[in-house]
Copies of this chain bind each other. A is one copy, B any other.
Amino acid sequence: VSRVYLNGEFLAREDARLSIDDRGFLFGDGVYEVSRAVRGRLFEDDAHWDRLSRGLREIAISVADQLDAHRLREISLRLLDENDLTGTDATIYLQITRGAALRTHWFPPAQTAPTIFASARAFEIPRTLRETGASAITHPDVRWLRCDIKSVNLLPNVLAKQRAHEVGAFEAVLIRDGTVTEGASANLFGVVDGELRTHPLSNHILPGITRKVLFELAEELEIPIVERPIRAEELPRLQELFATGTTTDVQPLVALDGRPVGDGRPGPIGIKLRKALEIRMGTG
């Protein structure tokens, strides 16, 4: 049975129960992170902590007494250990909400303890899919205007991902005002006219940790990245397209809305970055 962390305790998953007054349940009033561990080593945990801290600040949830980077590291490592995940690939899920309180749209009393939940799970890298590429569909981006906050207000993402899933596609390419923002659960990079492009950091996309690592790797590899959104009308000219994220790594997208991207096979820039990422993570 899986062991999870909830508000200071390590428990069997089925014993970790929430109040029906939890603001995560009632309002989606919280943030989360999914991070990666490779054979017991946490990958980019400082970057995940920084993003989490920023999100908590943005929505004014304080965990000062309960959690800091050091404590989160301890919790993560113990979850890996208790779930026999120290020898394999794993993901760690962390969610923090504003806690349980009498339902009001405004914040509950200051003494309300946040809910802190973490769990770990084995992760099997879909190596064949990474090699052969996956398909994607385009979908309207109807999300809120603070997509830079990794909140659990994920219903539009769920609906877009489900639409992709129904047609056997891996990801939905979200389009807002005629430009590609990101995927339903990943950032996107594309090659147009030989230029590697991705949406600049803004309120319209999540500042992905894998995205950040790819910028570092691209610099080492002397691959220039242009932070300019891909426009919908440029999609037919895409030479490469790939999704990036903590569980997505670098996932080539070789078909879009049923038409091949480029020559319909993973392109050289994506392959180069995927391999560099595998070396960095130690998953190659």
Q: Which residues of A contact B (CB under 8 A)?
A: 4, 6, 13-14, 16-29, 32, 59-60, 93, 95, 97, 103-107, 117, 119, 140, 142-146, 149, 151-159, 161-162, 164-165, 184-185
Contact = CB atoms under 8 A, between A and B. Distances in A.
Contacts of A146: 142, 156
A154 B153 contact: yes
B156 A144 contact: yes
A97 B20 CA distance: 12
Contact of A107 (B26, B59, B165): B165
Which 10 A-B pairs rank lowest in CB-CB distance, beginning with the nearest? A28-B28, A17-B17, A105-B161, A106-B165, A142-B145, A153-B153, A27-B154, A18-B18, A24-B25, A153-B155
Contacts of A165: 106-107
Contacts of A103: 93
Given A18-B20, A106-B165, 12 more contacts: A14-B19, A17-B18, A17-B19, A25-B95, A25-B152, A29-B158, A59-B155, A104-B161, A105-B184, A107-B162, A107-B165, A153-B155
A20 B161 CA distance: 21
B155 A27 contact: yes
Contacts of A156: 144, 146, 153
B22 A18 contact: yes
A153 to B, nearest CB: 4
21 contacts: A4-B20, A13-B20, A13-B21, A17-B17, A17-B19, A18-B25, A23-B158, A25-B25, A25-B97, A26-B32, A26-B95, A28-B28, A29-B155, A59-B155, A105-B158, A106-B164, A106-B165, A142-B144, A143-B144, A144-B153, A151-B155
